[in-house]
Amino acid sequence: MTLRPIARALALAAGLLSPEASHASDVVISNWGTNLFGVPYAVAMEKGFFKETGAPVTGAVGAGGGGSVVRSLLANELPYGEIGSSAAMDAQHAGLPLIVIAGTARSFDNVWVTQPTSSLKTIKDLVGKRVSFTSPQSITEAFILMMLKQNGIDPASVTRIAAGGYAQGLTLLDSGGVDAAPVAEPLKTSKKGKYRELFSAEDMLPPILSVVAATTRDYAKAHPEIIRAILSGRRKGVQYIYAHPTEAGQIMAKYYDMNPELSVAIVESMTKTKQRLWDEGEIDIAELTSLQQGMMLTGAKVGDVDWQKLIDLSYLPADLQAKSKLKAN
């Protein structure tokens, strides 16, 4: 990152500049175009919801997970975006000026699959076997460790391999390098029928809020109307997805450059899950602490989080503030 973008980012964060004064109107979305978290923004842009709410959003830019998406958010001319919840925890530890302003999505569609002819039947059969996850301290590593623990399996009895990604994990599975590998949407639907499902995060784990909306405290204070307008436009996008999943899938295909039949199948499927993938903005602290505990199993240093300083729900409408639960049971 060069000096000029850093200076620009800091000026925006301090409220000295506004997005209206620049040509930029993109939001930062973790893995935009490759996972489902950005679909409400695609729908809101296509249906004109951001225009209705007065939000200066006409596009989205992608960023990788972890710290890279946080850096992209801070350097963006409109310092708003969706980041992994664990990345928000890391940002607080690093002293970065981020606040979480809404809960947006859950990760539960991770399913570990095996070959159709495999002798594996349940997660307990992984003892003495090899299983992949995407990367160290990723949510897939947290999930596999949480599920092993829940089933009374010593993680040391299972060889765990960081494949580098979902597709790479399936390559290892195809070549015999592992006995089971995770898939998530859209890869999950596109590979349907090729592999046999072994176990899933949705069936074994409690709801986990893995993605949150974030901005800087100074920017939010300087431009509360913009933050509220973005959250309102996104909320309309979420509501539209659940009311019109077929059209939402067609919109996803357009913005993600995907096969329409595949994207429609994915969105229709995700609107019928036991847990909601896309939330309208409310936060249940239990869903964050579950993720926190899982990440700690991977060795991530996220154990000391000041939730009261990290989370500010004052930019949500009153009904979503009332639905939120920021005190642990």
268 in a structural domain: yes
pLDDT exceeding 70 applies to what percent of the chain?
91
Q: Is the pLDDT of residue 19 over 60?
A: no
Task: Indicate whether 77 and 126 sit together in one domain.
Answer: no
Q: Check residues 52 and 33 and name the one with the higher pLDDT.
A: 52
232-241 mean pLDDT: 98
Task: Indicate whether 222 and 280 sit together in one domain.
Answer: yes
Domain boundary among 188, 204, 220: 204
Q: How confident is the model at residue 303 (pLDDT cuts 50, 70, 90)?
A: confident
* Lowest-pLDDT choice from 48-62, 64-78, 94-108, 172-186: 64-78
* Lowest-pLDDT choice from 159-168, 228-237, 299-308: 299-308
pLDDT value at residue 329 = 62
Domain boundary among 143, 171, 204: 204
102 in a structural domain: yes
For residue 24, report the phi and psi dihedrals to the nearest 5 degrees: -80, 140
Task: Indicate whether 213 and 190 sit together in one domain.
Answer: no
Task: Indicate whether 28 and 157 sit together in one domain.
Answer: no
238 in a structural domain: yes
pLDDT value at residue 54 = 95
117-137 mean pLDDT: 96
pLDDT digits (tens, 9 = 90+) for 247-273: 999 999 999 999 999 999 999 999 999
Q: Check residues 10 and 261 and name the one with the higher pLDDT.
A: 261
d(CA 318, CA 309): 20
Q: Is the pLDDT of residue 220 over 90?
A: yes
Task: Indicate whether 143 and 219 sit together in one domain.
Answer: no
The closest of 274, 278, 285 to 324, measured between CA atoms, is: 285
Q: Check residues 13 and 70 and name the one with the higher pLDDT.
A: 70
Domain boundary among 156, 185, 204: 204
81 in a structural domain: yes
d(CA 148, CA 127): 10
Q: What is the DSSP string of 226-254?
A: HHHHHHHHHHHHHHHHHH-HHHHHHHHHH
Task: Indicate whether 66 and 214 sit together in one domain.
Answer: yes
CB 286 within 8 A of CB 329: yes
Q: What is the largest CA-CA distance in the chain?
A: 62
Task: Indicate whether 96 and 72 sit together in one domain.
Answer: yes
- Structurally, the chain folds into a number of domains equal to 2
pLDDT digits (tens, 9 = 90+) for 25-48: 899 998 888 889 999 999 999 999
d(CA 147, CA 169): 18
315 in a structural domain: yes
Task: Indicate whether 39 and 141 sit together in one domain.
Answer: no
Q: How confident is the model at residue 11 (pLDDT cuts 50, 70, 90)?
A: very low
pLDDT value at residue 33 = 86
Q: Is the pLDDT of residue 64 over 90?
A: no
Task: Indicate whether 227 and 88 sit together in one domain.
Answer: yes
Q: Is the pLDDT of residue 23 over 70?
A: no
Task: Indicate whether 122 and 63 sit together in one domain.
Answer: no
Task: Indicate whether 102 and 214 sit together in one domain.
Answer: yes
285 in a structural domain: yes
Domain, as residue range, for 129: 111-204
Averaged pLDDT of the chain: 90
Q: Report yes or no on whether pTM surpasses 0.85.
A: yes
Q: Is the pLDDT of residue 230 over 70?
A: yes
Q: Which residue has the tokens 């709410």?
A: 53
Q: Is the pLDDT of residue 243 over 90?
A: yes
328 in a structural domain: no
CATH code for the domain in which residue 163 is found: 3.40.190.10
76-93 mean pLDDT: 93
Task: Indicate whether 48 and 11 sit together in one domain.
Answer: yes
User: Which tokens in the block code for residue 48?
Assistant: 């004109």
